[in-house]
Structure 1
């Protein structure tokens, strides 16, 4: 069939058919000029970038351009002005649409280290044993934590003209802080909050319009409006024990703040048959229900309530007399049964679920993991030992491998009574290779090599991937995450906290007594 007839029959332009037949155009080939760096190499770079971002070592656009420039220089590829330009960057994003620019969330190095999968799984195991052995119901499992709010808030998003560069949002002049202690259980119930204001005498509380706060709110004070040991014991006795109900035992999950480990608090908990579990340190952002699903909505609701108040009352600002009503509005809108249950479910406490945390939350800690023991690899990687098996496509097929020949040679020398000839002592595989190949087979191999009946297995992949192999070492050196190395630290004291603890066990109070 001619080109013209094929074009009329299949309704395809004649030039398209000619280009595909002659090889000028290929099926699956993308439009545009060929990329400066091979596409296989770009795919490897993208994998390195995405893996680094998931582990908290994200690469910025500027860093990527600098790294690619280094890689190109090592390979003799030149860019205009020595670095890839905006046209390369746009083409790179087009070729790899999975790459986007995002602003990461803040995560301290301590938190990224401590949220380790082994630590978390051990915590879940012990926690679920406690829940099952004590036959705890959802209403018996509590979580308490603190959050802080200021009179000066973050304005909520409002409607504005498109393209406006600056938009004002009125806030309060004062930045006074108030600490709020909340306590909720897995069935969706909540206890009255405790508000800690800044001051040294009870008179500082009298200046607040406490009547406008949520019902039964406990008000107290501290010099810096912080949670302290004395207030922790006060809250447990006057709030928790008064509102947890008569059922025993019950479980209270807390973070590792010092105010939660006061001797008076632990003694009261033991006497009341209240089990207190301390979370692994620096893991509350994923393991604490209040942090996971309650305090986030509360902060948004608080910002909206403050913005609405400032809009509706131009002559007023947020102060001690107006803050309690704003706090009540945000508290009732966010600390709801649905949000509370969602927090316990997302942290795997109730329903009990060891796999509640997705695997990607553990990725930042992998950069700091060190092997338990350093094992020396004595075997050579398979990629550096190509299979030298020769397949003879003739009447009598002969398959020879260097491994088989060496094994035959070793067995013959091992079981022989005599030491053997000097050739047997040569530590070279070629000596055994020459000794094992019969002359007739060598001639057959040479004939097969001449007529094309010989096939060398294990070399075709190397030829196809040679270009990728030439880039691997440089890509790993430039784009891989640096390995964490062990540092010389001072000996860890016996009081260092590295895991979760049952604070009401017999060991903890005894240790506390010994400190005095």
Structure 2
């Protein structure tokens, strides 16, 4: 149960629980009273006795948002929409596509195990740099095993033909200072997707993607899709690790092969990897994962094709459920009676089980502090969604014009601040004063190392998070430049937002 709830027990946990079980149930044991845990030899024999069901595994990191976001009602709602679409438009097997983005770097993300001298304190592996800039790749595949030519986005203002050397055939290249996918860049990819798939009224296409703003709030893509008979279906938020075919079978393998190509390159060329080597290294790794088997399996294990809403078991939803009141399984009463009769001392009355020692925790869902509405599975190209987006864009444009008019006027509100009953401004009034003064009198590009007012504004609004990379302000140790959107007041790294000069900043979500 702890493993299913993403709280898997370590070796130390098991040894400690074994000691407490023996002590509380009055079971004779040779365990150490000093360390209050069972010995390593006991754990080794315990795992050997149960080797058919137990093994030591390295877990995959899963955020609390993903663990709690994958719940039964979200998945059921998504499959309801998918089944209705399949019944209504009768999509053929080779007309169902999935698209996703992933970040690559000049530094390999994974280092393989190596054979080294026994007893050596530390074993090192060469990397091309301490930290590298982000390169985004956009991949897409369908249920029949066909792949759309990828897109590579370099963190540069201008391109070069040398950057394209060795890329997979048909790859398109785009450039942006941040290296992140932007709405206009995704529009360029979608135009290539239309040319590749050639959808028509008699042969429509279904495109499944995640809820990134460049997908869901991209009016150009929505209008183009409606015109070209492409239906776009958005996955529920925080469920892509389970529902997205590319995440299940392609992305992880791609990064593994890509890291191996970097390692081979470093050994062969004896120099650091640069942006001019990325296309060739990515091309070699991409050709290894661009297989029909991976594509077909990705759609099958997620239940997207063939459509199977019961592909996930009850165990997959346990992390998102509230188990504050533990319910005994069918085997627990029998287990209690068996151990009570066979292993406990005659004077023992109540048997203590592991869950009595270590309670099964319940994950708390993370509450958004950005004022956004929670997303959900929906058809992006539907008329209600299009009308809602057009209305939202119209309101944002009006706010943008109003902000520009206010910034053009001289600052007059900062000098008229209310005070508290003692004659001094309260903390809330100070916060409002700083925010009002900053928003109407100072540029929207903030340097956390030079401007004291910017630091106070960021700290008074809590631990700000970048809307692109979700990096926290409190964890910023490089003195990066931060910017705040003049409309929604959300923060972002200037590098992530592609800000090139100190001017009014409007984020992509509000444009």
TM-score range (shorter-chain normalised) is 0.5 to 0.7
* Aligned mate of 2:173, from 191, 213, 219: 219
Task: Give the secondary-structure state (helix, strand or coil) at the position aligned to 2:373.
Answer: coil
2:257 to 295, 301, 304: 301
CA gap of 1:80–1:160, structure 2 versus 1, over 3 A, is closer
Q: Which residue of 1 aligns with 2:140?
A: 183
Match of 1:81 in 2: 33
| Residues 27, 343 of structure 2: 8 Å contact kept | no
Q: Give the superposition deviation at 1:69.
A: 4.5
Note if contact 2:68-2:365 (Cα within 8 Å) is conserved in structure 1. no
Q: Which moved more, 1:105-114 or 1:164-173?
A: 164-173
TM (norm. structure 1) is: 0.64
Higher relative helix content: 1
User: Displacement of 1:478 after TM fit?
Assistant: 1.7
Q: What is the CA distance between 1:80 and its match in structure 2?
A: 4.4
SS in 2 for 1:53: coil
* CA–CA distance in structure 2, aligned partners of residues 461 and 212 of structure 1: 66
Could you tell me how far apart the structure 2 residues matched to 1:198 and 1:181 are? 14
Note closer, same or farther for the CA distance 1:370–1:491 as it changes in structure 2 (3 Å cut).
Answer: farther
Find the partner of 2:86 among 128, 131, 144.
131
Alpha-carbon distance change, 343 to 90 in structure 1, aligned in 2, over 3 angstroms: closer
Aligned with 1:123: secondary structure? Answer: helix
Offset of residue 186 of structure 1 = 1.2
In structure 2, distance between residues paired with 1:226 and 1:357: 32
Say if 2:224 is the partner of 1:247: no
Partner of 1:230: 184
Indicate the SS of the match to 1:54: coil
Q: Structure 1 pair 198/116, CA: closer, same or farther in 2 (3 Å)?
A: same
Give the alignment of 1:161-172 within 5 angstroms: 163=118, 165=120, 166-172=122-128
Task: String of CA shifts for 1:495-515, please: whole Å, max 9, x gaps.
Answer: 321x31111112111221222
Cα distance, 1:105–1:491 mapped onto 2, change above 3 Å: closer
Q: Displacement of 1:196 after TM fit?
A: 0.8
**TM superposition shift of 1:101:** 3.0
1:209 to 2:148 alignment: no
Match of 2:381 in 1: 504
Secondary structure in 1 aligned to 2:62?
A: coil
Q: Equivalent residue for 2:373?
A: 495
Larger Cα-atom Rg:
1
1:283-303 CA-partner distances (Å, limit 9, x unpaired): 111111111111122112212
Distance 1:156 1:74 in 2: 44
The C-alpha deviation readout for 1:337-391, integer Å capped at 9, x for no partner, is 222122112211122222333554333223x4689xxxxxxxxxxx99xxxxxxx
Seen in structure 2, the aligned counterparts of structure 1 residues 274 and 477 have a Cα distance that, compared at 3 Å, is: same
Distance 1:347 1:462 in 2: 41
Q: Quote the Cα distance in structure 2 between the aligned partners of 1:169 and 1:462.
A: 50
Q: How many residues align?
A: 372
Secondary structure at 2:97 match in 1: strand
- With normalisation by structure 2, the TM-score equals 0.64
Partner of 2:437: none
Of 282, 288, 292, the residue aligned with 2:244 is 288
Indicate if the aligned counterparts of 1:256 and 1:281 stay in contact, CA closer than 8 A.
yes
Which of 326, 349, 358 lines up with 1:479 in the alignment? 358
Q: CA deviation at 1:251?
A: 0.7
SS of alignment partner, residue 252 of structure 1: strand
Shift of 1:131: 1.6
Q: Which runs of 5+ in 1 are unaligned?
A: 1-50, 372-382, 385-459
Q: What is the CA deviation profile of residues 306-352 of structure 1, one whole-angstrom value per residue up to 9, with x for unaligned ones?
A: 222222223x4321322222121111221222221221122111222
Q: Distance in 1 between matches of 2:279 and 2:293?
A: 24
Q: Gaps (5+ residues) in structure 2? A: 326-331, 396-511
Following superposition, the deviation at residue 225 of structure 1 comes to 0.4
Instruction: Work out the CA distance in 2 between the residues paired with 1:465 and 1:85.
Output: 21
Tell me: CA distance 1:207–1:351, structure 2 relative to 1, closer, same or farther (3 Å).
same
Deviation string 1:15-58 (CA, Å, 9 cap, x unpaired) is xxxxxxxxxxxxxxxxxxxxxxxxxxxxxxxxxxxx21122122
1:325-344 correspondence to structure 2 within 5 Å: 325-344=280-299
Seen in structure 2, the aligned counterparts of structure 1 residues 178 and 208 have a Cα distance that, compared at 3 Å, is farther
Question: Could you tell me whether the CA contact under 8 Å between 1:155 and 1:169 is conserved in 2?
Answer: no
CA distance in 2, matches of 1:197, 1:355: 40
Q: Select which of 139, 144, 150 maps to 1:193.
A: 150
The residue aligned with 2:391 is 514
Cα distance in 1 for residues equivalent to 2:199 and 2:365: 51
The 8 Å contact of residues 101 and 139 in structure 2, kept in 1 or not, is answered as yes
Match of 1:114 among 48, 52, 69: 69
Structure 1: distance between partners of 2:167 and 2:362:
52
Q: Does 1:312 align with 2:271?
A: no
What is the RMSD of the two structures over their aligned residues, measured on CA atoms? 3.5
| 1:58/1:506 CA distance change after superposition, 3 Å | same
After TM superposition, list the pairs within 5 Å mapping 1:434-445 onto structure 2.
none
Give the SS at the match of 2:237. coil
